[in-house]
Amino acid sequence: MSVSAKFRPLTARRTGALQGVAGVPGDKSISHRALILGTLAIGETRISGLLEAEDVLNTAEAMRRFGAEVTRDGEGAWRVSGVGVGGLAEPADVLDFGNSGTGSRLVMGMMATTPITAVFTGDASLQRRPMGRVLEPLTRYGATYTAREGGLMPLTLKGAADAMPIDHKVAVASAQVKSALLLAALNAPGRSRISQSALTRDHTEKMLKAFGAEISVEPLDDGEAVKITGEAELKATPVDVPRDPSSAAFPLVAALIVPGSEVSIPGVLLNGRRIGLIETLQEMGGNIKVVNARESGGEDIGDLIVRHSQLHGVEVPPERAPSMIDEYPILAIAASFAEGRTIMRGLEELRVKESDRLAAVGNGLKACGVAYEELPEGLIVEGGEMQGGATIATHMDHRIAMSFLVAGLASREPITVDDISMVATSFPDFKTLMRSLGADFAS
Ligand code: S3P
């Protein structure tokens, strides 16, 4: 399941106007959750628009190992026959989540209150990422674990035999941790309460409600608390996965920075907790129109029309970070082409993503001749033109690869990324889609 270790470089060159329709793939967060809740439900959950990328396929495979029947009927069309809350089987072998923090952490939560044992591993990037942030609070439900020093994979998690509900404040601004704790609560008797200061993405809460869980959200002076009743009976529910705003970010910024461009991106998820990048780029002067705003399966979606724009630098409010946490690498590219300075703060979580994204972006900008300052928890970019003419180290990080390939479409000299293989974890058709808009990519 892990991606081959062989490096596959790709070079992007300055191109003429980008034009056309960018049908980006399904949302990664919602795709993982649809498979997991389908497994925990009784009956058959039908999913359309599922993201068929390595991260999500690894979650699908894990669900089979826990006893669900997971079937692919056609492109994006999947069915999950669930085993019900408490009905998970013990996986016979090690679960390999590849590059995926979301898949692995959510599944830890899913099984932590069922008396079974599972072994979790992943690729070299995932083996460096902190799992204690999920495992420690899961012990409060009664689960136990053994991990490598520092809470690292490979690790073994033993679900609680007599789970108890918890009242817990999540210390980090992470939807993954919150979601893992909500999923664990499903098989603990009584009501659990999970609170958090940061307003992180709420797809788990919304989907749990749609599947029939007793769940409510209470606003707090400092964040919010989610209350959820355990020993839940979830009912299979159809899920139509909207297109991923975090993938849309790449053709979107490409259209803004390549002169003469006009690109439309239909059916994008516009959940209020995911649109920080669009808000920020509009504040920077980006011509981004949202048309045909509508609701689909309890989520807001809309079509985006993006035209080339002269951007200007802004100060991004740090409290906006959770709503655009995966978008800072591509925002840093947009900022490099903007007039003036862009200040981004509150980004400590970027240090523990698929790579240390603050360092990876900073080093990439430096190689491309952009003046910047890397802060312990932020980045300041001095905009203008980008020289390019560099090879970028992607550190097994799909978003670093895609961000610098977009940069190369507008920089003076070509930009090469050292390895595009990780792009398959979230956006397998990235190269083809960008080429269909006019991008000049060469191997
Ligand atoms: C995700 C949450 C975010 C994000 C990740 C997907 C999710 O991680 O970076 O790509 O689906 O819950 P954190 O919640 O750990 O910040």
CB 345 within 8 A of CB 302: no
Burial pattern 11-47, b for ≥16 Cβ within 10 A else e, equals ebebbeebeeebebbbbbbbbbbbbbbbbbbbeebbb
Asked whether the bond before 165 is cis by omega within 30 degrees of 0, the reply is no
Q: Which of 240, 244, 326, 397 is catalytic?
A: 326
- Please confirm, yes or no, whether 326 is among the known catalytic residues: yes
Q: Give me the pLDDT at residue 297, please.
A: 79
CB 160 within 8 A of CB 192: no
Give tens-digit pLDDT for 394-418: 999 999 999 999 999 999 999 999 9
Q: Which atom of ligand 1 is nearest to 178's Cα?
A: 14
- pTM of the predicted model, to two decimals? 0.98
Q: Give me the pLDDT at residue 296, please.
A: 85
Average pLDDT score over residue span 184-194: 98
In whole angstroms, how far apart are CA 255 and each of 5, 14, 316, 422, 440?
Answer: 32, 12, 21, 23, 14
Per-residue confidence at 6, pLDDT binned at 50, 70, 90? Answer: confident
Which of 27, 201, 425, when mutated, tests ligand 1's pocket best, judged by the most ligand atoms within 8 Å of its CB?
Answer: 201
Q: Give me the pLDDT at residue 437, please.
A: 98
Give tens-digit pLDDT for 223-254: 999 999 999 999 999 999 999 999 999 999 99
The letter for the amino acid at 245 is P
Q: Give me the pLDDT at residue 2, please.
A: 47
Per-residue confidence at 369, pLDDT binned at 50, 70, 90? Answer: very high
Give tens-digit pLDDT for 308-318: 999 999 999 99
Q: Give me the pLDDT at residue 5, please.
A: 59
Q: What is the percentage of the chain residues whose pLDDT exceeds 70?
A: 99
Give tens-digit pLDDT for 59-94: 999 999 999 999 999 999 999 999 999 999 999 999
Can you read off the two tokens belonging to residue 223?
């964040």
Q: Give me the pLDDT at residue 277, please.
A: 99
At residue 165, φ and ψ (nearest 5 deg) are: -70, 160
Supply the residue whose CA is at minimum distance from atom 9 of ligand 1: 326
Give tens-digit pLDDT for 89-120: 999 999 999 999 999 999 999 999 999 999 99
Q: Give me the pLDDT at residue 298, please.
A: 84
CB 28 within 8 A of CB 102: yes
End-to-end Cα separation, the chain, in angstroms: 24
Average pLDDT score over residue span 158-176: 98
Ligand 1 centroid to 178 CA: how many Å?
A: 10
Whether 3 shows a pLDDT value over 50: the answer reads no
Give tens-digit pLDDT for 277-300: 999 999 999 999 999 999 987 899
Mean pLDDT of the chain: 97
Which of 176, 226, 246, 422, when mutated, tests ligand 1's pocket best, judged by the most ligand atoms within 8 Å of its CB?
Answer: 176
Whether 1 shows a pLDDT value over 80: the answer reads no
Ligand 1 centroid to 238 CA: how many Å?
A: 23
Supply the residue whose CA is at minimum distance from atom 10 of ligand 1: 326
Question: Of 190, 177, 184, nearest to 160 (Cα)?
Answer: 184
